[in-house]
Amino acid sequence: MHPAPHETEHLVIIGNGMAGHRLVEALLKRPDRPARITVIGDEATPAYNRILLSPWLAGEMERQALTLREAEWYAEQGIELVLGERVTSIDRAARRLTTDAGRALDYQRLVLATGSRPAMPAVPGITLSGVHGFRDLEDAETLARIAERGGRVVVIGGGLLGLEAAEGMRKRGARISVLQRSARLMNRQLDATAATLLEAELGRRGLAIHTGAQLAAIEGDHHGRVAGVRLADGQRLAAHCVVVAAGITPNVELGREADLATQHAIVVDDHLTTSDPAIHALGECCQFEGTTYGLVEPIWRQVEVLAEHLAANPAESARYEERPSATKLKVSGISLFAFGPTEADAGHDVLAYHDPEQGDYRRLLLRDGRLEGAVLYGDTAMGPWLFSQAQAGSDLAACRRALLLGTADADALLDAHHSDNPDRPAKEAA
Ligand SMILES: Cc1cc2nc3c(=O)[nH]c(=O)nc-3n(C[C@H](O)[C@H](O)[C@H](O)COP(=O)(O)OP(=O)(O)OC[C@H]3O[C@@H](n4cnc5c(N)ncnc54)[C@H](O)[C@@H]3O)c2cc1C
């Protein structure tokens, strides 16, 4: 027998984005969820798959495919959905929040799932018309329209988001330059060889990549519109539009003004509870043990833990813990998979395979036979297997030589090794 739902509890979720929506889906699976759930989001449409904004911008999918659920679905599930309203304040003593439409709402439990926004560098000209972020559907639609006019676009940031914006806009007809401050593209995920391969491929497609390029100012015309950018070395690039994809800033203000403990983001414990036991936070607006978030994989694990603690009979053992994440680039025709450190240290055993003809590159970092990091470019089929082995901490010494060649070979060697060692489990990773 399932326990009865919380009979009177009113849970309010602020933010109808990826985390807030996934939490609703997880709670609906639990009969002991709070009796009344309200979701308030400031975007005009119900939650959509934000990750797919990149392939949508590249013209590779229909808008409809991004929709997670229609507004009617929430009503059918008994969830109150308020869209197009921004929560502007939280009165913790009264357990009441207020929106910019003047709505006041009482809660017993509150979840902040307010995400983050593009970080805007403090350079002259950053507020000019024609400077855009790439965060939501509105941004994506604006960038698509601009790209279709075929002008010159400068993308600030050669990380995942910047490259996806750049390729998407190029495919729609814009002439693109990418400015990357670091000496290589995707410097947090790729080593120098993989970054060089990526840069060469993007260059062949027509993107002008400037690495080691420090933005000094965005310059405007006499109408206050973007006319170009100036780099620290004095170089100027003409532009009709500047897309800023140089990191994210967590939307922490609502929590900060309500006097919740905040640092870079809203501080939570391993139950996703803030400094107020009635208020939780998850996703890109939260910070756990000093870590903030920018990928969905850890956020999905946060959702499972929080759904448990919002239910009437939570399992105390449900705790969030930090784990490494793997990265993929969503640019069609380019396959790339990476996790762990990019630089080898003295204790690393480095295994590398490079086939320039086929454009395949793989490099693994092992320590005492255990995988700590990998960069795969070209054929990335082994990526998920390698990631699972790294997460499980498997000793891969027995299949060292097959590691770069294919999971079938590596698995066979591991199995043979383990059958010689009956004390060890046959497979260490699921
Ligand atoms: C173009 C793009 C591509 C991406 N690709 C990947 C990928 O390939 N893989 C990956 O793992 N991650 C990717 N990400 C990151 C991923 O989308 C985020 O990690 C995820 O969306 C975070 O979820 P969230 O709910 O914390 O924030 P969001 O999804 O941003 O949701 C927060 C919501 O809260 C709303 N909100 C904020 N403040 C208020 C307020 N005061 N009142 C009401 N509503 C408010 C916001 O408008 C927003 O709708 C991508 C992001 C972008 C922008």
By most ligand atoms within 8 Å of CB, the mutation choice from 114, 116, 266, 387 for ligand 1 is 114
- Say yes or no: CB of residue 247 within 6 Å of ligand 1: no
- Centroid of ligand 1 to alpha carbon of 275 (angstroms): 23
**Fold held by 131-246:** FAD/NAD(P)-binding domain (3.50.50)
Residues 248 and 264: beta-carbon distance below 8 Å: no
Q: How far is CA 390 from CA 332, 338, 364, in A?
A: 27, 12, 11
Atom index in ligand 1 nearest the CA of residue 140 equals 1
Q: What is the reported pLDDT for 2?
A: 42
- Centroid of ligand 1 to alpha carbon of 229 (angstroms): 28
Find all residues with CB under 8 Å of 177, minimum gap 6, and list them: 152, 153, 154, 155, 207, 208, 209, 210, 237, 239
Residue nearest to atom 14 of ligand 1 (CA): 51
Residue nearest to atom 3 of ligand 1 (CA): 51
- Side chain identity at residue 233, one-letter code: D
Residue nearest to atom 11 of ligand 1 (CA): 295
- Centroid of ligand 1 to alpha carbon of 179 (angstroms): 24
Atom index in ligand 1 nearest the CA of residue 85 equals 43
- Say yes or no: CB of residue 364 within 6 Å of ligand 1: no
Helix (H, G, I), strand (E, B) or coil at 266: strand
By most ligand atoms within 8 Å of CB, the mutation choice from 12, 39, 50 for ligand 1 is 50
131-246 matches 6-117+249-310 in CATH topology:
yes
- Say yes or no: CB of residue 53 within 6 Å of ligand 1: yes
Pairing of strands 248-250, 116-118: antiparallel
- Say yes or no: CB of residue 18 within 6 Å of ligand 1: yes
Q: What is the reported pLDDT for 412?
A: 72
Between CA 282 and CA 271 the distance in angstroms is: 10
CA dihedral 217, 180, 166, 282 (to 10 degrees): -100
Q: What is the reported pLDDT for 420?
A: 65
By most ligand atoms within 8 Å of CB, the mutation choice from 38, 39, 51, 297 for ligand 1 is 51
Residue nearest to atom 25 of ligand 1 (CA): 19
- Centroid of ligand 1 to alpha carbon of 389 (angstroms): 29
**Fold held by 6-117+249-310:** FAD/NAD(P)-binding domain (3.50.50)
Q: What is the DSSP letter of 302?
A: H
Q: How far is CA 62 from CA 17, 134, 165, in A?
A: 19, 18, 17
Q: How far is CA 158 from CA 155, 195, 258, 338, 354, in A?
A: 8, 10, 36, 16, 23
Name the burial class of residue 307, with classes exposed (0-12), middle (13-18) and buried (19+) by CB atoms within 10 angstroms of its CB: buried
Nearest of 420, 416, 408, 324 to residue 370 by alpha carbon: 324
- Say yes or no: CB of residue 114 within 6 Å of ligand 1: yes
Both tokens of 365, joined, read 């970092």
Residue nearest to atom 31 of ligand 1 (CA): 17
- Say yes or no: CB of residue 274 within 6 Å of ligand 1: no
- Say yes or no: CB of residue 251 within 6 Å of ligand 1: yes
- Say yes or no: CB of residue 330 within 6 Å of ligand 1: yes
Q: What is the DSSP letter of 421?
A: -
Q: What is the reported pLDDT for 422?
A: 53
The CATH architecture to which 335-420 belongs is: 2-Layer Sandwich (3.30)
Element (H, E) at 89: strand 87-91
Find all residues with CB under 8 Å of 136, minimum gap 6, and list them: 43, 50, 53
Q: What is the CA radius of gyration of the chain?
A: 24
Q: What is the reported pLDDT for 411?
A: 74
- Say yes or no: CB of residue 135 within 6 Å of ligand 1: yes
- Say yes or no: CB of residue 139 within 6 Å of ligand 1: no
Q: How far is CA 332 from CA 61, 115, 139, 205, 206, in A?
A: 12, 27, 21, 12, 15
- Centroid of ligand 1 to alpha carbon of 116 (angstroms): 6
Nearest of 161, 158, 128, 213 to residue 57 by alpha carbon: 161
Q: What is the DSSP letter of 17?
A: S
- Say yes or no: CB of residue 83 within 6 Å of ligand 1: no
Q: What is the reported pLDDT for 399?
A: 85
pLDDT one digit per residue (tens) for the chain, 430 residues = 444 455 679 999 999 999 999 999 999 999 999 999 999 999 999 999 999 999 999 999 999 999 999 999 999 999 999 999 999 999 999 999 999 999 999 999 999 999 999 999 999 999 999 999 999 999 999 999 999 999 999 999 999 999 999 999 999 999 999 999 999 999 999 999 999 999 999 999 999 999 999 999 999 999 999 999 999 999 999 999 999 999 999 999 999 999 999 999 999 999 999 999 999 999 999 999 999 999 999 999 999 999 999 998 888 889 999 999 999 998 999 999 999 999 999 999 999 999 988 889 999 999 999 999 999 999 999 999 999 999 999 999 888 878 887 766 667 767 777 776 655 444 433 3
- The full DSSP string for 327-393 is EE--BTTB-EEEES-SS--TTPEEEEEEETTTTEEEEEEEETTEEEEEEEES--TTHHHHHHHHHHT
Q: How far is CA 351 from CA 269, 347, 354, 367, in A?
A: 38, 13, 10, 11
- Centroid of ligand 1 to alpha carbon of 115 (angstroms): 5
Q: Return left, alpha or beta for 78; rule: phi > 0 is left, psi -120 to 50 is alpha, else beta.
A: left
Domain boundaries, the chain: 6-117+249-310, 131-246, 335-420
**Distance from chain centroid for Cα 73:** 26
- Centroid of ligand 1 to alpha carbon of 318 (angstroms): 24
| Cα Dmax for the chain | 77
